[in-house]
Amino acid sequence: MNIVLQVWRQDSPESRGGFKTYQVKDISEEMSFLEMLDILNERLINQGEEPIAFDHDCREGICGTCGVMINGQAHGPQQGTATCQLHMRKFQDGETVVVEPWRATGFPLIRDLVVDRSAFDRIVEGGGYISVDTGSAPDANLIPIPKLVADTAFDAAACIGCGACVAACPNGAANLFTAAKISHLNLLPQGQSERWSRTENMVEIMEEFFGSCTNHGECEKACPKQISIDFIALMNADYVKAKFKNRRLVSQNG
């Protein structure tokens, strides 16, 4: 099949970028979107042109590095799928496909389709951990956790940190990501000791980089792991509680 690609090209964060159009001929429908970009890049290199910079790593939908905006949809037209798992058969022969980087102030552009998502790391550093005793490993299944709770926590833990939620959000908000990272620990017994400091910290660090949620629900539809905005409600509830509880702790310290 043949497609026409309009790709955002930008040499550096400071330089002015723009769209370039490429005719990508003779590609297989079985290729993934990234494989199609590989082919295009090989051809560009052979012609002595700069290849298109794009992020990727695992190519099996688990690392979260590969996201780009494809025809105005984060990770492309197929829901619940990361860009690396998207296949060319989802496109029409001869179709024009617009490829852009994530656009958000919290994700500054590095080059072409690559953005700096380290703001997510800052959020996780704020509380995305639990304290465990070192020493011999505890017995498995020592802490009883209801199946439903474990499943829900696991749904949240499925977040791969790709940033599609921010990219798709008209407000550039990272509430779905942060809610997922907070919830998968807050729901489990192991996450309780830091629950309130975690929630307050992570939310407030998030707000230094990203916009605020207006409950459109676009993130949920863009998320390759289909994480539910119900987790955002959970985070909101915990944030308010955290504010009260942490205040009481502060007053105890005099």
Give contact residues for ligand SF4 (rule: CB under 6 A).
64, 159-165, 176-177, 180, 222-225, 227
Write out the DSSP string of 107-152. Answer: B-EEETTEE--HHHHHHHHTT-------SSPPPTT-S---HHHHHH
Nearer to ligand FES, 49 or 121 (CB): 121
Contacts to ligand FES by CB under 6 A? 56-59, 61-66, 82-84, 160
Nearest residue to 208 via CA among 178, 253, 251: 178
User: DSSP 3-state helix, strand, coil percentages of the chain (rounded to 5)?
Assistant: 40, 15, 45
In whole angstroms, how close is the CB of 116 to ligand FES at the nearest point? Answer: 17
Distance CA 42, CA 174 (A): 35
Contact partner, 54, from ligand SF4, ligand FES, other proteins, none, Cβ < 5-8 Å per class: none
In whole angstroms, how close is the CB of 63 to ligand FES at the nearest point? Answer: 3
Q: Pick from 116, 138, 154, 193: which binds other proteins (CB under 8 A)? A: 116
Nearer to ligand FES, 7 or 187 (CB): 7
Nearer to ligand FES, 55 or 238 (CB): 55
Close Cβ partners of 44 (under 8 Å, ≥ 6 residues apart): 22, 50, 51, 52
33 sits in which H/E element: helix 33-46
In whole angstroms, how close is the CB of 211 to other proteins at the nearest point? Answer: 3
**Which range in 44-52, 65-73, 82-90, 190-198 contacts other proteins by CB under 8 A?**
65-73
Nearer to ligand SF4, 32 or 178 (CB): 178
First to last CA, the chain: 70
Tokens of 116: 């700096």
In whole angstroms, how close is the CB of 142 to other proteins at the nearest point? Answer: 29
Distance CA 122, CA 126 (A): 6
Distance CA 206, CA 106 (A): 9
Distance of CA 66 to the CA centre of its chain: 9
Contact indicator for 4, 23 with CB cutoff of 8 Å:
yes
Nearer to ligand FES, 176 or 213 (CB): 176
Contact partner, 59, from ligand SF4, other proteins, ligand FES, none, Cβ < 5-8 Å per class: ligand FES
Contact partner, 243, from other proteins, ligand FES, ligand SF4, none, Cβ < 5-8 Å per class: other proteins
Point out which residues bind other proteins (CB under 8 A): 13, 19, 69-73, 98-100, 103-106, 108, 116, 118-119, 122, 126, 169-173, 203-205, 207-218, 220-222, 229-230, 232-240, 243, 247, 250
